[in-house]
Amino acid sequence: MLRIIDARTGQPVDAAPARRGLTRVEAHTEGFDVTALRVLLVADLLVRALEIGGTPVWALLDEERQQAELRAGAAALGIRPFEEGRDAVSGLGETQVLHVVREGGAEPDGVRVAVAAVEASAPPEDTDPAVLRLALLGTRRGVPVALDTGTLDAAHATLARWRGAVAHWATSPSRPVPDEVRAALRTAWEDDLDVPGVLGVLRRVESAPEVPDGARFETFAHADRLLGLDLTRDLGNPR
């Protein structure tokens, strides 16, 4: 069960308190900048994690300004579209509402998922959006991120290595995700959406000699349902 820290109380709450009950995820971006994109990315991760667990989700964007820029930036980062939420009303039977907000920003009623700032006023030019996504995923959402050259270069190297490795592993006979690895991935993302923990599991699997290549492939493909990094993009072109 995914549990998330409510910024109002500092206490964990169930993201989906009722089995199969609808959860509404509402993103409050407050304009357009890289922090706004990080807010949308965290909301996207929440939606993905809930859907993997079988919870129906209603995803909304509560923003009036710079919607075209926000939606274009979100699409480039692989964030699925959010419905217009400013005038949305409840009534679909949702059992939980999760508001994803900037740290120190909007204070809507309901559970608040706070996202720390990104130290960049605009998305770096000429940066592969998937690299930017991975750079943002590498730090827990409550910790500020500095999108400096070192951070982006490290993300670029990791993404290129993983995509090449996944394409190579795909040429081996398929093997199931090891039970202990599947449990470690789920434990990480259900613990307040600890995506850096998920990335850490993948790094261990990448180099673990006891894990067959076919199982490495299935592990990375499984985790990518949450990460959204298109890790299987280079299938058919192993390096």
Per-residue pLDDT of the chain (239 residues; tens, 9 = 90+): 899 999 999 999 999 887 777 999 999 999 899 999 999 999 999 999 999 999 999 999 998 788 888 989 899 999 999 998 655 555 566 788 999 999 998 899 989 999 999 987 566 667 788 999 999 999 999 999 998 889 999 999 999 999 999 999 999 999 999 999 999 999 999 999 999 999 999 999 999 999 999 999 999 999 999 999 999 998 877 55
Separation CA 219–CA 184 (nearest Å): 11
Separation CA 61–CA 184 (nearest Å): 31
Asked if residue 98 and residue 182 are part of one domain, the reply reads: no
Residue where one domain finishes, among candidates 87, 121, 155:
121
Domain of residue 116 covers 3-121
Q: Which residues contact 2 (CB under 8 A, 6 or more apart)?
A: 14, 15, 16, 49, 50, 53, 189, 190, 193
Asked if residue 139 and residue 101 are part of one domain, the reply reads: no
Residue where one domain finishes, among candidates 121, 147, 180:
121
Q: Does residue 24 contact residue 58 with C-beta atoms inside 8 Å?
A: yes
Asked if residue 52 and residue 34 are part of one domain, the reply reads: yes
Residue where one domain finishes, among candidates 95, 121, 147:
121
Asked if residue 28 and residue 105 are part of one domain, the reply reads: yes
CATH of the domain at 40: 3.40.50
Structural domains in the chain (count)? 2
pTM above 0.85, yes or no: yes
